[in-house]
Amino acid sequence: MENSETYTLQPRALTSEPEFFSRMISQISKEKLGPEFASMKDPIEACVHCGFCLPTCPTYSTMGDEMNSPRGRIFLMKETLEGKLEPEDVDPYIDNCLGCLACVTSCPSGVEYGELISPYRAWSERTRERSLTEKVQRFAMLKTIPYPDRFRKASKLATLFKPIGRFLPKGMGAMLELAPHTLPTEQPLEELHPARGERRGRVALLAGCAQQALAPRINLAAIRVLTRNGIEVVVPKNQGCCGSLAMHIGAAHDARKAALNNFDAFPDDIDAIISTAAGCGSGMKEYGTLFAGEDPEILEQAQNYASKVIDICEYLDQIGFVPPEKENATPITVAYHDACHLAHAQKIRSSPRKLLQSIPGLTLLEPAEWEICCGSAGSYNIEHPDTAKELGQRKVKNLVATGADIVATGNIGCLTQIEFHSKEQPKPLRVVHTVELLDQQFEE
Ligand code: SF4
Ligand code: SF4
């Protein structure tokens, strides 16, 4: 268990008595926070301390204390924003949060925790003094992961240094341990992919950064499935990382810079911006919050861009994906893993299941604890390797228990995390993106 030291500051007693279920009144002033951070007040005041979110929170489940629960964190952030607690005392508990948003799904009061945690991290980062090790680690992450070329080079280098990983600070060691031994051959994407048959739509694809290095097969599968369903696909040449990784760790400036580049790179004459990675899709949908308080023209641009973002499965479901007819379908069992940033952040659970169930011969299996994060969570498995490992192993156990032939998911982070932690299994899991299984249906 990480950060197991007992924190001495205690929030006021939290009970589960019904009469205590009243909204949290704060003394936070939106004017003082400014438009950039004003969104933080509403979720704080919507929380009624009921605790229904606690059982679904992976850190409460693994660390077992109130401070590492959604309810505890909301209280701590409130007290800090009111000036009653020092940010540095609260930071360890906020850092432990995976940002998985399982608490949003389970909250009966509609507390939008996502509108609190991301701006809070950016707010606290402005004054935070980080250690040299943390600075180096964050610099390394922000300057390599979002750039496929650098990521490939860094991965090669990391394989050389793997043997010394255990002598390095924990996070750096985790980076080396998680770095893949080999990467697939680079597969640059053409800029235009015409629709097959009658054109039913035109979309732009976010190629993504780390995914394009780790599993270029996913975007290729997405393009094939889209074009075979009559959709023209544009892959904007000058696009880059969407900034979600930076946003997730409170590096708002880097996130805005990445987003601004993509606002220019993506064309206007498209029906949708397709994301094949749940983390990117959910991050891009948050651009309105990221650019709150910016120049109104830029804010409008951010909101317009965000409104076009859609996950590949949701889009295919909307346009009515039909798999090709097959006479002899091979029976296959598939366990579907809900990526947090698809299920909790974007509320997308039924579309991928519907698409998978349309595949002839496919039996869909549901693992236990679908709502609990696998521990990948952006860069969480680098920054909190012990908790991430515990959650990864727990997820693998639940997936293995289904007995499925294959695991399907909608996020590259989950895919690599589950693959990594299933290596210790007698039969490692085969993990694919949902769209890859749809694509396979078109193979002769
Ligand atoms: S976040 Fe929601 S579920 Fe959790 S304590 Fe607050 S109101 Fe209850
Ligand atoms: S985002 Fe996830 S880890 Fe963070 S408080 Fe909510 S449920 Fe817990």
Tokens of 95: 């850092």
- The ligand with the least distance to the CA atom of 345 is 2
Q: What is the pLDDT of residues 262-294, one digit of tens each?
A: 999 999 999 999 999 999 999 999 999 999 989
Question: What SS3 class is residue 111?
Answer: coil
Pairwise CA distance, residues 104 & 50, whole Å: 13
Ligand 1 contacts CB of residue 47 (under 6 A): yes
Q: Give Cα separations from 248 to 130, 245, 341, 391, 410 (angstroms).
A: 17, 5, 12, 19, 18
Ligand 2 contacts CB of residue 74 (under 6 A): no
Question: Which region among 107-116, 123-132, 162-171, 247-256 has the lowest average model confidence (pLDDT)?
Answer: 162-171
**Is pLDDT above 50 for 95?**
yes
**Is pLDDT above 70 for 1?**
no
Can you give the pLDDT at residue 14? 44
Nearest to 248 by CA among 260, 258, 237: 258
Can you give the pLDDT at residue 20? 52
Residue with tokens 């990467």: 183
What DSSP designation does 7 have? P
Q: Is there a contact between 191 and 235 (Cβ–Cβ < 8 Å)? A: yes
Q: What is the pLDDT of residues 46-59, one digit of tens each?
A: 999 999 999 999 99
Domains, the chain, in order of start with CATH, read 18-125 (1.10.1060.10), 323-440 (3.40.50.11810)
- The mean predicted confidence, pLDDT, of the chain is 90
Q: How far apart are the first and last CA of the chain?
A: 49
Can you give the pLDDT at residue 10? 38
Tokens of 209: 């950064």
28 Cβ contact partners less than 8 Å away, ≥ 6 residues apart = 40, 41, 44, 78, 81, 82
Ligand 1 contacts CB of residue 111 (under 6 A): yes
Protein residue with its CA nearest to atom 4 in ligand 1: 53
Tokens of 308: 């076009």
Ligand 2 contacts CB of residue 120 (under 6 A): no
170 Cβ contact partners less than 8 Å away, ≥ 6 residues apart = 385, 386
Question: Which region among 58-62, 234-238, 439-443 has the lowest average model confidence (pLDDT)?
Answer: 439-443
Pairwise CA distance, residues 108 & 269, whole Å: 39
Alpha carbon of 16 to ligand 1 centroid (Å):
11
Question: Which region among 8-22, 112-126, 200-214, 333-347 has the lowest average model confidence (pLDDT)?
Answer: 8-22
Can you give the pLDDT at residue 444? 56
Nearest to 388 by CA among 58, 7, 144: 58
Can you give the pLDDT at residue 274? 98
From the CA of 98, give the closest atom in ligand 2: 3
Nearest to 132 by CA among 120, 142, 140: 140
- The ligand with the least distance to the CA atom of 43 is 1
Protein residue with its CA nearest to atom 7 in ligand 2: 57
Can you give the pLDDT at residue 162? 77
Alpha carbon of 109 to ligand 1 centroid (Å):
7
Q: What is the pLDDT of residues 77-92, one digit of tens each?
A: 999 999 999 999 999 9
Question: What SS3 class is residue 400?
Answer: helix
Q: Is there a contact between 272 and 203 (Cβ–Cβ < 8 Å)? A: yes
Pairwise CA distance, residues 147 & 382, whole Å: 17
What value, to the nearest 5°, has the Cα angle with vertex 409 and ends 403 and 415? 90
Mean pLDDT of 195-220: 94
Q: pTM of the full predicted structure? A: 0.89
